[in-house]
Amino acid sequence: MRSLNQRILASASLVLLVFVVGTALTLDRAFYDSGKTALQDRMLGKLFLLMGEAEVDDHGRLVMPEELPGLMEFEHLNSGIYAFIADERNTQVWKSMSTLSIQIPFRASLPEGEKVFEQIELNEKPHFIYSFGVAWETEVRDYPFTFHVIMDSTSLEEQIDLYRRDLWGWLAVMGVLLLIMQMSVLRWGLRPMRQVSSELSAVESGLQESVQGIYPVELKRLTDNINSLINHERKHQQRYRNALADLAHSLKTPLTILRGAINTENDAQVMRALLNEQIDRMDNIVQYQLRRAATAGSSPGTRLIALRPVVEKIVNTVHRAYYEKYPKVTLEIPPEFCLRMDEGDLMELLGNVIDNAYKWCRQDITISASYEHDEVVIRVEDDGRGIKREELGKILERGVRADQSIPGHGIGLAIVRDIVEAYDGSLSIDPTRTSGAAFVIRVKR
């Protein structure tokens, strides 16, 4: 079953069916045991009344009155209740008038005080027999007798059948009502899920931009993550559009220069130098715009990354590129320090900032990381010539291109800025530094 509603309804129906059947069987057994106990008590009462009417003389002869006022059922044929008495040799010494319509079963005599209650077949009908062993005390000696009462169980079976019909009928009605109630409750309980599905369909069709409904606590995190993914994907698409637009705009200048050079320049050596210069320029522009567009950005599914191993890997790599320098690199990053960012973005971001620090440092570089409220703060400091105050705003301003900076400088910081902005963070330069430069990166935890 692919429908959540059908799965829950089928499970609830199965549980309800098991409960109804179990309840019916339990009640049926309880009623049967109760009816059987009541019949047993009734037959025991008949036995006691029969014993009360009996007399035994000194010679062990059993004497019963001709009429039994309290036991009139024993005087009528086919009354459904029968009685007989046997002595210690299993000889019948008395039987009721009602036994003339049946064949009396053989029953072994019982010792004094022993009782036996069981079901038998008489005339192909179910009956119950209750046997009670007694020792009749006389002046001479005790004479053992066994009193037997037989009762037709047809009435009990009829009562049980009627009870079963009523029980199963009412339980079926209750089961249907409960099933209807369960369907109503499930429909009400799953309404937020249907609403989410409807809103997602509206988002897919372009009728709305995000999931806007108010949902229970159990679904709120899901809807918030869905909205985050939608916004992330929308920002990602927008970055690609912007990158393509910026790429087209950036390539206009070198293409115009090349077109003009083809028409006006006659010196082959100058032409070659110009071509190499503009090709390198276009390559830098393309690489920069591709890196901007590929920035992953913040996403709820991004995993946590340990920062220190990444920084150590970048430092080792950059150190080989600047083999003529031997700066002292100090890492103030706890081993357990983590942040939530795409690993490729983190490598690109830190690679550019650390490369910039190596390029301009004299002897020392310090890389530190800390938590401030709900932000991760990364500082990369060097002891180079620093940045003039009037250049602080210009060096990070939007729109810096390869043709606006010296080779190897400017593009990297622009990439860092764009990556940080994709994670709703910020890149700044510490203005309080009197020497060297300190780049401060802030992103949300």
Looking at the structure, tell me whether residues 343 and 263 fall in a common domain.
Answer: no
Mean pLDDT over each residue of the chain, to the nearest integer: 84
What does the alpha-carbon distance between residue 378 and residue 396 come to, in Å, rounded to a whole number?
17
What stretches of 190-267 show up as alpha helix (H) in DSSP? 191-205, 217-264
User: In this structure, are 51 and 92 located in the same domain?
Assistant: yes
Q: Is the pLDDT of residue 440 over 90?
A: yes
Q: Does residue 11 lie in a domain region? A: yes
**58 and 120 in a common domain:** yes
Asked whether residue 178 is domain-assigned, the answer is no
User: Where in the sequence is the domain holding 407, given as residue range(s)?
Assistant: 304-444
Do 8 and 156 fall within a single domain? yes
Nearest to 307 by CA among 340, 272, 355, 260: 340
- Looking at the structure, tell me whether residues 316 and 364 fall in a common domain: yes
Residue 237 sits at the vertex; the CA angle it makes with 231 and 242, to the nearest 5 degrees, is: 120
Instruction: For residue range 256-313, list pLDDT tens digits in order.
Output: 777 777 877 777 787 888 888 888 878 877 876 676 666 656 666 678 899 999 999 9
pLDDT the model gives residue 1: 56
pLDDT in tens, 152-165: 888 888 888 999 99
∠ CA 439-444-445, nearest 5°, is: 115
pLDDT value of position 405: 43
Q: Are residues 143 and 8 in the same domain?
A: yes
